[in-house]
Amino acid sequence: MPELLLADVGSTFTKVCVVHTDEPRLLARAAVPTTTEPDVNQGLDAACRLAGTALDTALPLLASSSAAGGLRIAAVGLVPSLTAKAAEMAALGAGAKVVGTFPYALNTDDENRLRTLEPDLVLLTGGTDGGDTSHIVGNAEVITRTLPAVPVVVAGNRNAHDDLRRVLDGHQGPVRFADNVMPELNRLNLGPSRDCIRQLFLERIVIAKGMGRLKARADLLVPTPQAVLEAVRLLGQTAGGLGDFLAVDIGGATTDVYSHGAGLPSNAGVVYKGLPEPIDKRTVEADLGMRHTLSGVMALIDLEGLCAEHGLQPEEVMAWTTRVAADPGAIPHSTQETAADTALAAAACRLAVQRHCGRLEEVWGPEGRVFLQEGKDLGDAGWVVGTGGPAAFGPAPEVILAAARRRAGSASLLPRAPRFLADRDYLLWAVGLLAQAGLDEAGARLALHHLREVPGGDAPSCRRVPEGTHRGE
Amino acid sequence: MPTSPEVPSPRHHGCPSATPVNIVLGVIGADCHAVGNKILEIAFREAGFRVNNLGVMVAQAEFIAAALETDARAMVISSLCGHAEIDCRGLRERCLEAGIGHILLYLGGNLTVGETDFPTVERRFREMGFDRVFPPGTAPEEGIAALWEDLRRRGCRQPAGDTKGPGRA
Ligand code: B12
């Protein structure tokens, strides 16, 4: 089938494109504001019309959704740095919004929090295979009592399965057992739980969120962030693609960071510590956004330093943040407001990328200095891609993307000499959908054709340029 | 050799004959002597333990996190570079704090620099809360025999709920 209809619903805009897959190219594209009343279908129909098609054409439809809050998951594990973190990584990799991470034994406070959060799904982990069973079993009791109708994916110690089946026997929501997210100490296995989450999302959650029609029509329906992560995998893996790279999406409420790359220590004098991380990794910073959570960014930055770096006055930044606090829909008018908006986006980008990438810690041992690495070393990542938000559409994406570059002396393992790309046509979700449907080549070619290089990155000296990438504007 | 969790375990039975016993192994502190650690891993695994080896340069917090997650019965700790006293201080107290105060703590290697009277060294580390302390060059087999003995003495019957982390209501 050479033509496909692709749709993304739920973010500010509902987007639709028609793609030719044999000769990969975009035939039509449209975006309209997402509708919620009565549901997403109105917007979807309007976007299709605008793209010169209709939702009910014979074209196969691949869709992604972040509607109704996306896929909201509570991640439950045992030790914060081990299974609780693994559960969080699994949920993020499945495209979820992690509404809470709960380590150790759930207590009454946690119970209340879970009730208030009303997650769409609980990912229950804890214990290596053959390891601890008491916490996961105790936590299952709390979950089935607290959230009796919520779907549960169990991905913990398999030796606890018998007890868990008994405890969850009367659970009203669906319960699925997947392989342990951490079968052995410090070994991750996120694929099986991710697949289970994806399945439950399709079978139960999209319907509960009023997307029955979309589900019935679509040949594929996944959470939007999962589609983007899939695009990251594809562009990283494809020969002639981007290799190791980072992608940044700075939104109004959150900042998402994606990376492709193993990120293992780059020299023998560095010892890796803690959980290994997935090659295709996603993190979400819920306190770093350009509108609703701008106060989160303000709380973390050194205002004087930011102003010095961007040639601004602190009062100018404060004036802009005051306006945004009063009206999250504010759009910068003056050059000062635009500059403040860009500077704050750069700050959010830097903070989010620092949290995403690993760190080096210097330890003074009996023999002198030794280095410990925790998390991914993305020093050799060749590209930083701005997708969505000001890093893609703003007036100065190069300023924002440059914030992802490693600074001399920094302990954060950020890219040392990246070049920059902007996903100007906001297509990564569509590329990910193509990849998920097995159309890797079409997806890769479409992406590499539409990503625009943003000047200001490091000289292309000896680095390979992806085929078909536009240079400059 | 029970290296994979094939045997379904009755919950918290903990008996070595029915289900592999988890231990956590590692070289503590900023110590990077790696050879003995590998030998210990192989020896303890061949003796029937499920060895969760953290390798070299292991912080106390890592030992504790690993023991919680794997429901380990013992930490088998090496210290070769002579800094054991500094690196091991407070470990028992932190285990207590984490809810695994009952775990067996074993320590071996070159624990001190210059101190030649082993009984003195041993006493010092026993007072710190280590169950067994081994002199330099102890063969792994000696540690293994001692561990089986200690586990047997404990009846291999840890009560359920001895591995609660902080937060258990
Ligand atoms: C190789 C070596 C190094 C290599 C390590 C390479 C590597 N990545 O492994 C390098 C060059 C890096 C090195 C560095 C240092 N080393 Co060095 N090193 C050695 C050496 C020569 C051999 C260690 C070894 O591999 N032995 C073989 C293994 C199989 O034996 P093992 O480690 O003792 O472990 C066995 C037993 O002890 C026992 N065991 C160990 N733990 C436990 C625990 C339990 C519960 C049980 C039952 C048994 C047990 O079972 C193990 C397996 O059979 C020893 C001297 C020696 N001959 O032991 C010095 C030695 C350990 N190093 C020493 C020192 C001081 C250092 C340095 C501080 C500086 C220096 N002077 O070189 C640095 C420290 C670096 C750091 N951050 O840790 C001293 C320690 C002094 C002390 N404690 O009294 C030693 C003893 C040399 C000496 N005589 O001065 N070292």
**Confidence class for position B156, pLDDT limits 50, 70, 90:** low
Task: Establish if B45 touches chain A: CB-CB under 8 angstroms.
Answer: no
Same fold, A3-68+211-218 and A72-203: no
**How far apart, in whole angstroms, are the C-alpha atoms of residue A4 and residue A238?**
22
Q: Could A82 and B20 be called an inter-chain contact, meaning their C-beta atoms sit closer than 8 Å?
A: no
Question: What pLDDT score was predicted for residue A353?
Answer: 97
Q: Nearest CA of chain A to the CA of B1: how many Å?
A: 14
Q: Do the Cβ atoms of B50 and A130 come within 8 Å?
A: yes
Q: Which CATH architecture fits A3-68+211-218?
A: 2-Layer Sandwich (3.30)
Contact residues, A window 333-372, toward B, CB-based 8 Å cutoff: 363-367, 370, 372
pLDDT higher than threshold 90 for residue A206: no
The reply to whether B83 belongs to the active site is: no
**Is residue B18 less than 8 Å (CB to CB) from chain A?**
no
Main-chain dihedrals φ then ψ at residue A439, nearest 5 degrees: -95, 60
Amino acid at the residue A399: V
- Which of A197-211, A331-345, B1-15 has the lowest average pLDDT? B1-15
Band the pLDDT of A370: cuts 50, 70, 90. confident
Q: Is the pLDDT of residue A157 over 50?
A: yes
For residue A43, pLDDT over 90 is answered with: no
A58: helix, coil or strand?
coil
Most confident segment among A300-309, B91-100, B151-160:
A300-309
Substitution site in B49, B81, B111, B118 for ligand 1 pocket (most atoms within 8 Å of beta carbon) = B81
For A129, nearest residue in chain B (alpha carbons): B5
Contact call for residues A125 and A76 (beta carbons, < 8 A): yes
pLDDT of B13 above 70: no
Q: How far is A81 from chain B (nearest CA, A)?
A: 8
Domain ranges of chain B: 21-106+119-128
pLDDT tens digits, B157-167: 433 333 333 33
Q: Do B70 and A185 touch (CB under 8 A)?
A: yes
Delimit the domains of chain A by residue range.
Answer: 3-68+211-218, 72-203, 226-464
Check whether A472 has a pLDDT greater than 70. no
Share of chain B above pLDDT 70, in %: 81
pLDDT (0 to 100) of residue B63: 96
When pLDDT is cut at 50, 70 and 90, the band that residue A244 belongs to is very high
The answer to whether A269 faces chain B, any CB pair under 8 Å, is no
Q: Cα of B48 to ligand 1 centre, how many Å?
A: 26
Q: Who wins on pLDDT, A229 or A268? A: A229
Q: How far is the CA of B135 from the centre of ligand 1 (A)?
A: 13
Task: Kindly tell me if the per-residue pLDDT of B95 is higher than 80.
Answer: yes
Please give the pLDDT value at position A459.
57
B80–chain A Cβ distance below 8 A for any pair: no
Per-residue model confidence (pLDDT) at position B14:
43
pLDDT at position B34 over 50: yes
Neighbouring-strand partners of residue A360: A373
Note the pLDDT of residue B1.
Answer: 35
What type of residue sits at position A166? R
Query: How sure is the predictor about A16, in pLDDT bands with cuts at 50, 70 and 90?
Result: very high
pLDDT for residue A200 is more than 50: yes
Contact yes or no for B69 and A364 at CB 8 A: no
Residue B4 scores a pLDDT above 60:
no
Q: Is A393 helix (H, G, I), strand (E, B) or coil?
A: helix
- pLDDT bucket at B18, cuts 50 / 70 / 90: low
> Looking up tokens 């945004």, which residue turns up?
A324
| Top-tier CATH class for B21-106+119-128 | alpha beta
Q: Which one of B5, B69, B83 has the shortest CB-CB distance to A78?
A: B69
Which structure tokens are listed for A114? Answer: 């879970």
Residue of the CA atom closest to atom 31 of ligand 1: B36
Cβ–Cβ gap A363/B5 under 8 Å: no
Which of A78, A110, A128 is closest, CB to CB, to B165?
Answer: A78
CA nearest neighbour of A429 among A243, A207, A254, A220: A220
- The predicted structure's pLDDT at residue B76: 98
User: Does B33 qualify as catalytic in the annotation?
Assistant: yes
Q: Which of A46-60, A431-445, B66-80, B144-158 has the lowest mean pLDDT?
A: B144-158
Buried b (16+ CB within 10 A) or exposed e, B115-141: eeeeeebbebbeebbbbbbbeeeeebe
| pLDDT of B161 | 34
pLDDT of residue A267 exceeding 90: no
Pick the catalytic residue from B12, B13, B33, B83.
Answer: B33
Ligand 1 atom at shortest distance from the alpha carbon of B33: 9
- Find the angle CA(B20)-CA(B21)-CA(B27) to the nearest 5 degrees: 125
Q: To the nearest whole percent, how much of chain A has pLDDT over 90?
A: 65
Shortest-distance Cα residue to atom 42 of ligand 1:
B108
Is the pLDDT higher at B19 or at A79? Answer: A79
Q: Whose CA is nearest to atom 62 of ligand 1?
A: B81
| Pairwise CA distance, residues A99 & A152, whole Å | 15
**What pLDDT score does A334 carry?**
92
Q: CB of A112 within 8 Å of any CB in chain B?
A: no
Question: Does position B108 have pLDDT exceeding 80, yes or no?
Answer: yes
pLDDT at B15 over 70: no
pLDDT-derived band at B116, boundaries 50, 70, 90: confident
| Pairing outcome for strands A245-250 and A255-260 | antiparallel
Give tens-digit pLDDT for A332-354: 999 999 999 999 999 999 999 99
Highest mean predicted confidence (pLDDT) among A202-216, A365-379, B93-107: B93-107
B72-91: per-residue pLDDT in tens? 999 999 999 988 988 998 89
**pLDDT for A448-464, tens place per residue?**
888 889 887 665 543 44
CATH fold, domain A72-203, is Rossmann fold (3.40.50)
The more confident residue out of A470 and A213 is A213
Cβ neighbors of B132 (< 8 A, separation 6 or more) are B104, B105, B106, B107, B143, B146, B147, B150
pLDDT of A274 over the 90 cut: no
A81 touches chain B (CB under 8 A): yes
- Yes or no: say if B160 and B65 are a contact pair by the CB < 8 Å rule: no
